Amino acid sequence: MRKINVDKIKNIVSELCIEANISLRRDIYKAIVKALKKETNKRARRILGILLENARIARRESRALCQDTGIVCVYLQIGQDVKLVGGDLRKSIDSGVEEGYKKGALRKSVVASPLVRVNTGTNTPSIIYTEIVKGDKLKITVMPKGFGSENKSKLVMLNPTQGEKDITSFILEAVKEAGPDGCPPYILGIGLGGTFDKASYLAKKGLISPIDRQNAKKHLRKLESSILKEVNKLGIGPMGLGGKTTCLGVNILEYPTHIAGLPVAVNVGCHITRSASRMI
């Protein structure tokens, strides 16, 4: 049994909150550079150039990439041979978030109740997901999620006899509806299968995976590239002002499901979709 003190987790969460908010993910930066090379629309090119400049300023001057520094989702992959010691795990994660948002001068965007909307002032509570895995390591991933794009996310329960074509048209409709509002070019996390909630969970996890990684499953790899191609034909472009660059990447995760259904969830991510991880 390997012991890990929760104080260590607190410090890492604090650091990851700042890192994710000021440092654009390398895979996304590279995707924007690549898109800029292919883009022919003059205004779209200018906007993409500004997005790259924004990323450089943010990193150089430790500024948040976007003022919406999000609600924090924390993913813990806990090795089954790990024993957490030294205190309460949830408390240590939330005090890590609070500390990171204070130190990094990041915006506190969490209200205590969706109806009684009082800002908690600490950007907590965070949303925590845990997964037990083999081994004695602990992987912490922090994802500050902004709501411009989150508000555009959607879920549908398709019939089991439907398939790729219906999934694609559902995604296209969601992106059309998002239009210019959620900060395109988008990153799309798509969850297929499982249950109503599992599909959304997978969609969000899809946003954490690098967009330049190869999906291990061939049928998903094919679907990812065809959805990417179709979405980029919509012509929405950066800021919704036209161009070839509507989507920078698509990640699909799947899970076995029931014979009677085909849950499909799409989590829309903006062009600064953020996440940062560390392994202990």
Angle 278-279-280 from CA coordinates, rounded to 5°: 120
HSE (side-chain half, CA atoms, 13 Å) at 204:
20
Between CA 277 and CA 75 the distance in angstroms is: 9
When computed from its CA atoms, the radius of gyration of the chain, rounded to whole angstroms, is: 19
Interface with other proteins, residue 97, by CB under 8 A: no
Secondary structure element (H or E) that encloses residue 3, with its range = strand 2-5
Work out which of 13, 20, 36, 66 binds other proteins, going by CB under 8 A: 66
Residues 115-174 binding other proteins (CB under 8 A) are 117, 119, 121, 148, 151
Between CA 189 and CA 267 the distance in angstroms is: 5
Running DSSP on this structure, what letter comes out for residue 272? Answer: T
Work out which of 4, 227, 272, 276 binds other proteins, going by CB under 8 A: 272
Work out which of 51, 188, 252, 265 binds other proteins, going by CB under 8 A: 51
Work out which of 10, 25, 45, 107 binds other proteins, going by CB under 8 A: 107
Interface with other proteins, residue 72, by CB under 8 A: no
Work out which of 8, 30, 63, 139 binds other proteins, going by CB under 8 A: 63
Interface with other proteins, residue 17, by CB under 8 A: no
Interface with other proteins, residue 105, by CB under 8 A: yes
Interface with other proteins, residue 15, by CB under 8 A: no
Interface with other proteins, residue 50, by CB under 8 A: yes
Work out which of 81, 180, 213, 219 binds other proteins, going by CB under 8 A: 180
Interface with other proteins, residue 187, by CB under 8 A: no
Work out which of 183, 188, 190, 203 binds other proteins, going by CB under 8 A: 183
Query: What contacts 24+ positions apart, CB below 8 Å, involve 160-169?
Result: 160/258, 160/259, 160/260, 160/261, 160/262, 162/262, 163/262, 164/223, 164/226, 167/192, 167/223, 167/227, 167/262, 167/264, 168/223, 168/226, 168/227, 168/230
Task: Give the residues lining the site for other proteins (CB under 8 A).
Answer: 47, 50-51, 53-54, 57-58, 61-69, 105-109, 117, 119, 121, 148, 151, 179-183, 239-241, 270-272
